[in-house]
Amino acid sequence: MLYTILERVRAYTDDPDTDAKYTADWIIRHIITPAMVDVQGRLSLFLDNPVYNRVSINIVANQEFYDLPPCVGEVVRLGITDANGTVTTEWTPRGETHPFGPGWTVEGNVLAVRPAPSSGGTFTLWYINNGDAMPFYGDVTSTTASTVVVPATPTLGALDRRKSAYVGHMLRLIPNTSSAEIQERVISAYDFTTRTFTLRRNFDPTPSGTHKVEVVPMGQSQALWDAIALASAIRLATIRRTPGTQLQGLQLNYRSAIKTIGDQLANLNNKRPGGFERHTVDNPFSQWVTPRDGNYAI
C-alpha cells in the first residue's frame, strides 16, 4: 500500500523517482501520513464497517481521571461485561450541567468521572480508532499464528511509540515469495517495548519463511489508495507551488476517488439500511431496555 501510494504521488506531481527533492521517507512522514488521517476522518462519517476496539478501565473509588488509549476517534459505550461479553451494566453519560453531574465524559486523552465514584469495578470501553498512528513497511523478526514481531527500524515510515497506538489498524503480512498468500489481520494489541503485534484472528495458514510487514489504517481498496495518493499529491503540489490548472485536476480526481470509496464503505451491510436505532440503552422507552435512574452503582 505505502509503495503504491508513494509511486502514485510522484506520478501525479511529476516528481522523478531518483534524485528527488523530497525523499520517500519524508513524503511518508509529512505528506502521506496526514493525508491518511484526513481521508479516514472523512470516511468515518458514514463508515458501515468500523472496527470496534475494546479496552478495560479499572474504575476505583474517589478517582476522577483515567487514561484513554491513543488514537481514540469515537467513544461508543462504557459498561461492565460478563464472561460471554454480554453487557450487564451500561453506564451512559449525561450533560456537564446535569444535576447529578455528567457521569463520565471525554476530556482530551482522559476519561473524566464526575462525581468521583464511591466504589469501583472493571469497565469495558468501546471505541473506534481514528487512524492517527504512523504507518510503516519493513522486515519481520518473527511470526507465530497470532503475533508478529518487527525490528526497531522499518524500511518506510516509523514505529509509533505510544502504547496500543496500532490497535484497530490492519497488519498486512507479505511473503518474500510471489507464490505465497498475502494475509491481512486486524491488530488487537501492540506492545512497543517488544515491538509485538497481536492479531484479532490467527493467520491461516501459519506463516513460514521470510516476510515483509505493513501496518496501515483499516480499509484496502484501489479507491482508498487513490484517494490517499491524490490527497497527498495535492499537499505536495501546494508545497511545490504547482500551477492552478494542474492543482484543480488533482482536486477533481480526489473528489471522484473519495466519493467512490465512500459509497463502497457506506453500503457494505446492505441487509441493514441506514437509519436511527430505536431499541438502544439510551432510549428509556425501548421495550428491551430497563430504564435507569442514571446514578452510578455496581
What is the predicted pLDDT for the residue at 298? 38
**pLDDT for residue 296 is more than 80:** no
Which cell numbers hold the place of 257? 476517488
**pLDDT for residue 17 is more than 60:** no
Long-range contacts of 257-264 (CB under 8 A, 24+ apart): 257/223, 257/226, 257/227, 257/230, 258/39, 258/42, 258/43, 258/227, 258/231, 260/223, 260/227, 261/43, 261/219, 261/221, 261/223, 261/224, 261/227, 262/42, 262/43, 262/46, 264/221, 264/223
What is the predicted pLDDT for the residue at 290? 43
DSSP letter for each residue of the chain: -HHHHHHHHHHHTT--SSS-SS-HHHHIIIIIHHHHHHHHHHHTTS-SS--EEEEEEEE-TT--EEEPPSSEEEEEEEEEE-TTS-EEEE-----TT-TT--EEEEETTEEEEESPPSS-EEEEEEEEE---S--EEEE-SEE-SSEEE--SS-SEE----STTTTTT-EEEEEESSTTSPPEEEEEEEEETTTTEEEESS--SSPP-S-EEEEEE-S---HHHHHHHHHHHHHHHHHHTT--HHHHHHHHHHHHHHHHHHHHHHHTS-TTS-S---SSSTT-TT-TTS---------
Closest CA to 149 of 157, 158, 140: 140
What is the predicted pLDDT for the residue at 276? 66
8 SS3 class: helix
- In percent, the amount of the chain with pLDDT more than 70 equals 89
Is 0.75 surpassed by the pTM of this model? yes
What is the predicted pLDDT for the residue at 199? 97
Amino acid occupying residue 142: S
pLDDT tens by residue, 164-198: 999 999 999 999 988 889 999 999 999 999 999 99
What is the predicted pLDDT for the residue at 101? 83
Looking at per-residue pLDDT, the higher value among 277 and 39 belongs to 39
What is the predicted pLDDT for the residue at 41? 87
pLDDT tens by residue, 44-66: 877 788 899 999 999 999 999 99
What is the predicted pLDDT for the residue at 278? 66
**pLDDT for residue 82 is more than 80:** yes
Q: Average pLDDT in the 247-270 region?
A: 88
**pLDDT for residue 288 is more than 70:** no
- 79, 80, 279 from 87: Cα distances, Å: 6, 6, 15
pLDDT tens by residue, 92-135: 888 888 888 888 999 999 999 988 888 888 999 999 999 899 99
pLDDT tens by residue, 184-242: 999 999 999 999 999 999 999 999 889 999 999 877 789 999 999 999 999 998 888 88
Q: Average pLDDT in the 20-46 region?
A: 88
What is the predicted pLDDT for the residue at 279? 66
**pLDDT for residue 35 is more than 90:** yes
What is the predicted pLDDT for the residue at 2? 93
What is the predicted pLDDT for the residue at 152? 93
Q: Mean pLDDT in the chain?
A: 87
**pLDDT for residue 18 is more than 50:** no
Neighbours of 111 (CB within 10 A): 21
What is the predicted pLDDT for the residue at 245? 83
Q: Minimum mean pLDDT among 133-147, 166-180, 260-274: which range?
A: 260-274
Which cell numbers hold the place of 187? 491488530
Q: Minimum mean pLDDT among 2-11, 126-135, 212-221, 270-279: which range?
A: 270-279
93 phi, psi to nearest 5 deg = -80, 160
105 phi, psi to nearest 5 deg = -155, 155
Looking at per-residue pLDDT, the higher value among 298 and 70 belongs to 70
DSSP state of 28: I
Query: Using CA atoms, how far apart are residues 231 and 217, in angstroms rounded to an integer?
Result: 15
Query: Using CA atoms, how far apart are residues 282 and 286, in angstroms rounded to an integer?
Result: 9
Query: Using CA atoms, how far apart are residues 149 and 176, in angstroms rounded to an integer?
Result: 16
What is the predicted pLDDT for the residue at 274? 66
Amino acid occupying residue 155: T
